[in-house]
Amino acid sequence: MPEISVQIVTFNSAQTISNCLGSVYRSAPKENLEILIWDNASGDNTKAIISQKFPGVKIFHSVENLGFGTSHNQLLEQAKGDFILILNPDAYLKNGCLTQLSKFLQNHPQIGAVGPKLVYPGGRFQISWGNFPSFFQEFETKRDWKKARSATPRDLAYLEKKYLREGYVDWLSGACLLVRRKALEKVGGFDPNFFLYYEDSELCLRLAKAGFRCYYFPAAETEHSLAQSTEKTPWTKEFRSRQSQLYYYWKWKSVSELKLVKLYLNLKFSWLKLKLNFTGGMSPEAETFFAELFPLLRQEKYPSEKDYQKPARRKTSFLSYLLDYLGRWVYELFAPLFSTPDRSDFIPQKILFIKLCCLGDVLFTTPTVRAFRKKFPQAALVYLTGSWCETIVSWNPHIDRVLVFDAPFNYQSIYRKSKETWRLIRKLREEKFDLIVSFHRDYRAALLAWLSGAKLRVGFNQSGANYLFTRRIDFSENLHEVKRYLKLAEICGAKSDDYHLEAVKERSQKPQTNFSDSLTVCIAPGGGKNPGTFMPIKRWPYYPELAKRLRLEMECQIILVGDKFDMEAGEKIERENPGTAINLIGKTDFSELANIIQQSSLFIGNDSGVLYLAAALGVPTVGIYGPSDPDLVAPPGESHISIKGSLYCSPCYRPDTVYGQSYFDCWTKTLDCLKKLSVEKVMQAVKRQLEKISLTQA
C-alpha cells in the first residue's frame, strides 16, 4: 500500500501540470507514492499531457467543473495512502519537500495536517497560513497580502518576521497540504458547498474541532504560481470568493457577524458599481458579477440552490454582548471595592452545583460531584436543577439536598420568569453558599452565581459574563463531557480520574414485570425529548427489525421502555412484530423505569437520558449515535459500546452547535447518518456485549 496519496484537481492546467508531477516524483520515492488526478472538464490538452508523460498517474474526469472540494472528496474515495497530499497543479515541490513533510507527520501523531513554506517563482515569500477568518481578522489578512504584493524590502521583512515561524497555526493553504487520512475521513473531507476559496480554512477549522491540529513547517518548501490553476476571469474569481465567504460566515459565524459582512460588501460593491458606471469602465463580465452578487447578499441562507440548513450556532443575545463588553468594564472598575480575594487555601463549607437540565447532562456531572465530596468531605453539597431531573439528583449519594428551579421551562412570560428568578436569588443569598459550580456556559448562570453572594464562583470561560466567575476554564469542545466537567473540579483542587456515572437506586423487592430467567434485553427506541426541545433526529429507525432478530437469534426476553412521548415508537415495534416484546413505554414512572432497567441484562438505546441512566445504574449498554458524537458523550467505561453513523456531515450535534433551533431537523434532510447504520452492525455490537456478560457471569 502506498504511504502517500497525492491528490491534484486540474482545470485547464496544461501549462503547469508537467512541472508539478515531475516535482512530486523527485520529492519522494516512487514506491511510496500514488498520484490521483481529477480533471474538471478542461478545455485544453491537460489530460493528454498527463497520459503521455506520466502513464502511472490515475486520471479521473468529469463533464463539468465540480469545484475544488467535491473533486478532492471524489479522489479521497479512491486513495489508498495513510497520508493525503492536497496539491495544486501550479505547485512545484522543492528539495525533497514531500519526504520532509511525511517524516514530520509520522513523528508527531498529535498533528493532523502539516504545510510547507510557499514561495512565488523566483523565491519570494508567499503567505500560506493564518488565523481563522473573522470580520476584523480578514482586514488584517488583506493588509498583509497587499504588503506581499508590494514586495518592498520593509514589507517583506515584516511579513517574514510574522509568518516564517514554525509552529501550530489555525489554517494552512490548500495549495500544498499533507493531511492524515484518518483525520480527513473523520471530518468527512472538504465541504462540497465550497466551490472555490475558503475551503482550506474551513477544513482546518473542522479538523481542529475534531482534535487534529495544523502545523506550519517552513523547513519544507514549495513554489506556487498563485491562481494559475483557477478561472482566469477576475470577476468570476471575485464572485467565487464572495460566494464562499458568505457561506463560511453563515455556517460558522454569528448572525450579527454575517450581517456585518453583508453590510460591508453591499457598501463596497455599490460604490464600485457607481464608480464604474460613472467612468464608463463597466464591462459585460462586471455587469454579470453585480447582477449575481447583490441577490446573493440578500439571501438568508447559503447555498441557495440546495434545501440545506447549517448546524445551529450559538446565538448570542444583545444582553450577552452588553454584559460581555460594557459589563466587564464596569465590573473590573468597581469589583475591588466589594469583592473577596480568591484564596487558594479557602475550604468551602457549603457548595452549590447548578445544572438545570437534562437527564444525561446531569448524570455527566456525577463524577465531578464525587470529586468534590472526596476533596471536601465536611462540606454540605446542594444541587440546583429542574424538576425533570430532581429524582436522579436525589439518587446521588454525595448530594445532601436538592433545590428545584423550573422557571426557564414553565413560563413564557418574561415577567414571570424574572419574578421567579429574583425569588431564587433571594433564597440563594439566604443559604450563604461558599462555592458555586456552574456547569452551564450561559451568561445567566454566571450572573446568578454572582448575585448569590458566593465567595468562590467556578465556571466556563465561554459565557457572556465569564468575568463574574472567580475561577474559570476554557470550554474545550473536543473533551468528553465528563472530563470537561471534571476540569471545574480540578481548578478547585479536586482532581479525579474516576469517570463512571453514578446513581444509587435501591432495587425494588417487587418486580415491575414478569422477568423470565432467560436473558433480558431492555430497549428504548425513543428519546430526544427534553424540556423545550424535541429532536426525533436522534432516533434510529430500525428497532422493529432489531427486536425481531434478537428474539429469534438470541432467544431473549425484550422489554420496551420510555415515556409517553415514545409511545409511537413502541407501537410500531408491536405492530410489525406482534408478541416479540413486552411494551411498557409510557406505563411506568421514573422510579419504576429505573427498577426495570436494573433487572435487565443489557440496555439498547439512542442518545437519550435513559441510556445514561442505564449506564449510571451499572447496566451494560449499546448506544446508537447519528447526529451526536459518541467520542464526546458516550457513557464512559468498558461495559458500554457505542455505534455511530459516519457521513461528511456527522456528527452535527456538538458543543459548538447545540444552541439555536435548526438542529431539531436533519440539516441535509436525509437522516442518512442513522438510516445507513445497519441492523447487522448493531447486532454485532449486541453479540459482543452479550459475550462479555456471559464471561462475567461465568
Question: In the prediction, which pLDDT does 177 show?
Answer: 95
Q: What is the mean pLDDT of residues 611-631?
A: 93
Q: Does 4-224 match 520-697 in CATH topology?
A: no
Q: What is the mean pLDDT of residues 444-467?
A: 87
Q: What is the mean pLDDT of residues 138-142?
A: 88
Question: In the prediction, which pLDDT does 320 show?
Answer: 58
| Residue 273 scores a pLDDT above 60 | yes
Question: pLDDT band for position 308 (50/70/90)?
Answer: very low
| Residue 533 scores a pLDDT above 80 | no
| Residue 657 scores a pLDDT above 60 | no
Q: What is the mean pLDDT of residues 248-256?
A: 86
Helices and strands (DSSP H and E) totals, the chain: 27, 26
Tell which residue, 203, 306, 286, has the closest CA to residue 238: 286
CB atoms within 10 A of CB 412: 6
* Residues, the chain: 698
Distances (CA, A) of 660 to 161, 246, 315, 316, 317: 41, 19, 6, 10, 11
Q: What is the mean pLDDT of residues 585-613?
A: 94
User: What number does CATH give the domain 345-490?
Assistant: 3.40.50.2000
Distance in angstroms (rounded) separating the CA atoms of residues 610 and 604 = 10
| Residue 464 scores a pLDDT above 80 | no
Question: pLDDT band for position 232 (50/70/90)?
Answer: low
Which CATH superfamily hosts domain 4-224?
Spore Coat Polysaccharide Biosynthesis Protein SpsA; Chain A (3.90.550.10)
Tell which residue, 475, 462, 477, has the closest CA to residue 651: 477
48 within 8 A of 24, measured Cβ to Cβ: no
Distances (CA, A) of 28 to 15, 25, 246, 335: 23, 6, 39, 61
Question: pLDDT band for position 350 (50/70/90)?
Answer: very high
Q: What is the mean pLDDT of residues 201-211?
A: 88
393 within 8 A of 402, measured Cβ to Cβ: yes
Question: pLDDT band for position 504 (50/70/90)?
Answer: confident
174 within 8 A of 108, measured Cβ to Cβ: no
Three-state secondary structure along 238-294?
Answer: HHHHHHHHHHHHHHHCCHHHHHHHHHHHHHHHHHHHHHHHHHCCCCHHHHHHHHHHH
Question: pLDDT band for position 475 (50/70/90)?
Answer: confident
Tens digit of pLDDT for each residue in 149-200? 777 888 888 888 888 889 889 999 999 999 999 999 988 899 988 888 999 9
Q: What percent of the chain lies above the pLDDT cut of 90?
A: 52
Q: What is the mean pLDDT of residues 106-124?
A: 90
Contacts of 411 (CB under 8 A, 6+ apart): 417, 420
493 within 8 A of 435, measured Cβ to Cβ: no
Structure-block grid coordinates of residue 677 = 447504520
Contacts of 202 (CB under 8 A, 6+ apart): 190, 191, 194, 248, 251, 252
Q: Which CATH architecture has domain 520-697?
A: 3-Layer(aba) Sandwich (3.40)
Question: pLDDT band for position 313 (50/70/90)?
Answer: very low
Strand partners, 166: none
| Residue 611 scores a pLDDT above 60 | yes
Question: In the prediction, which pLDDT does 323 show?
Answer: 59
Strand partners, 7: 36, 86
Question: In the prediction, which pLDDT does 497 show?
Answer: 94
Tens digit of pLDDT for each residue in 34-84? 999 999 988 888 989 999 999 889 999 898 888 888 999 999 999 999 999
| Residue 1 scores a pLDDT above 50 | no
Identify the DSSP state of 554: I
Identify the DSSP state of 69: H
User: Domain map of the chain by residue range?
Assistant: 4-224, 234-298, 345-490, 520-697
Q: Mean pLDDT of all residues in the chain? A: 86
| Residue 480 scores a pLDDT above 60 | yes
Question: In the prediction, which pLDDT does 402 show?
Answer: 97
Strand partners, 215: 114, 168
| Residue 505 scores a pLDDT above 90 | no
Question: pLDDT band for position 309 (50/70/90)?
Answer: very low
DSSP notation for 171-184: EE-TTEEEEEHHHH
| Residue 305 scores a pLDDT above 50 | no
By the 10 Å C-beta count (0-12 exposed, 13-18 middle, 19+ buried), 507 is classed as exposed
Coil/strand/helix, residue 21? helix
Identify the DSSP state of 151: -
Cis peptide before 303 (omega within 30 of 0): yes
Please give the residue that has the higher pLDDT: either 411 or 169.
Answer: 169
Q: What is the mean pLDDT of residues 579-605?
A: 93
504 within 8 A of 395, measured Cβ to Cβ: yes
Question: pLDDT band for position 507 (50/70/90)?
Answer: low
| Residue 14 scores a pLDDT above 80 | yes
Distance in angstroms (rounded) separating the CA atoms of residues 586 and 393 = 22
| Residue 526 scores a pLDDT above 70 | yes
Distance in angstroms (rounded) separating the CA atoms of residues 37 and 85 = 12
Q: How far is CA 337 from the centre of its chain?
A: 41
Q: What percent of the chain lies above the pLDDT cut of 70?
A: 87
| Residue 330 scores a pLDDT above 50 | yes
Question: In the prediction, which pLDDT does 200 show?
Answer: 93
Contacts of 231 (CB under 8 A, 6+ apart): 11, 196, 237, 240
| Residue 662 scores a pLDDT above 50 | no
Question: In the prediction, which pLDDT does 307 show?
Answer: 41
CB atoms within 10 A of CB 478: 16
Question: In the prediction, which pLDDT does 623 show?
Answer: 96
Tell which residue, 633, 635, 611, 646, has the closest CA to residue 539: 611
Question: Do the strands 533-534 and 529-530 form a parallel or antiparallel pair, or are they unpaired?
Answer: antiparallel
| Residue 666 scores a pLDDT above 80 | no
Question: In the prediction, which pLDDT does 303 show?
Answer: 63
0.75 surpassed by pTM: no
Distances (CA, A) of 571 to 91, 265, 523: 60, 54, 13
CA-based max dimension of the chain: 91
